[in-house]
């Protein structure tokens, strides 16, 4: 039943595909060649043949692996930290992954308000679409919403060889929102 779904989804013209298990990633990897395939919650992506190495994946496949149980105590400590300080969740989780996966380039993107079709759907629920959009744009120091392309450029940088010395890095792409 799952076989052929990748091709069916590709017909919809997505910019990328996300898989959430080893079996789904295996199926999609055989069908998805021209757009990024991002896996989450898979075990042993190198051993499963999804990527040749975690630090610098090849081809169109990349993603996140299940954490190693060796550092379960450290993960529990970080999860408690996240629960007590949800605002610092991304930083704490990125740091925990960086410590657990030294050399794998564990980094994060912290985007501001990004102008996407999903964002447009949320705005449609607003009583005054124009005023709401203008108010949200004003939150950024640059006075505008970000674009998906700007976020993609940051992701591409963190996935490139140019960022090979970056680890535990949170790249803030928010148009200056946090600077105010």
Locate the domains of the chain by residue range. Answer: 1-66, 69-104, 106-180
Q: How much is the average pLDDT of 80-93?
A: 63
Across the strands, what pairs with 109? 171
**Strand 107-111, strand 169-173: pairing:** parallel
Is the pLDDT confidence value at 143 over 90? yes
CATH of domain 1-66: 3.40.50.2300
Answer with the residue of higher pLDDT: 69 or 102.
102
How high is the pLDDT of residue 142? Answer: 94
The token duo for 171 is 């790249």
**Residues contacting residue 128 through CB under 8 Å, at least 6 positions apart:** none
Segment holding 17, helix H or strand E: strand 17-19
Q: Which of 20-24, 62-66, 89-93 has the lowest mean pLDDT?
A: 89-93
CATH of domain 106-180: 3.40.50.720
Burial class (CB in 10 A: 0-12, 13-18, 19+), 81: middle
Q: How much is the average pLDDT of 150-165?
A: 86
Other CB atoms within 10 Å distance of the CB of residue 101: 18
Return the C-alpha torsion angle 41, 44, 46, 49, nearest 10.
-80
Is the pLDDT confidence value at 1 over 80? no
């Amino acid at each position: 039943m799952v076989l052929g779904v990748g091709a069916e989804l590709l017909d919809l013209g997505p910019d990328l595909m996300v898989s959430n298990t080893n079996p789904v990633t295996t199926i999609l990897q055989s069908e998805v060649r021209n757009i990024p395939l991002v896996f989450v919650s898979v075990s042993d992506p190198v051993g499963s043949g999804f990527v040749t190495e975690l630090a610098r994946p090849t081809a169109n496949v990349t993603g996140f692996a299940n954490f190693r149980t060796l550092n379960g105590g450290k993960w529990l400590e970080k999860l408690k930290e996240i629960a007590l300080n949800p605002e610092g969740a991304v930083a704490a989780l990125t740091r925990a992954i960086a410590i657990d996966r030294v050399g794998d380039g564990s980094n994060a993107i912290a985007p501001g308000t990004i102008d996407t079709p999903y964002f447009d759907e949320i705005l449609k629920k607003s009583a005054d679409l124009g005023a709401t959009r203008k108010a949200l744009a004003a939150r950024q120091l640059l006075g505008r919403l970000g674009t998906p392309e700007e976020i993609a450029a940051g992701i591409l940088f963190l996935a490139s060889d140019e960022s090979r010395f970056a680890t535990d890095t949170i790249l803030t792409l928010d148009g200056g929102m946090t600077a105010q």
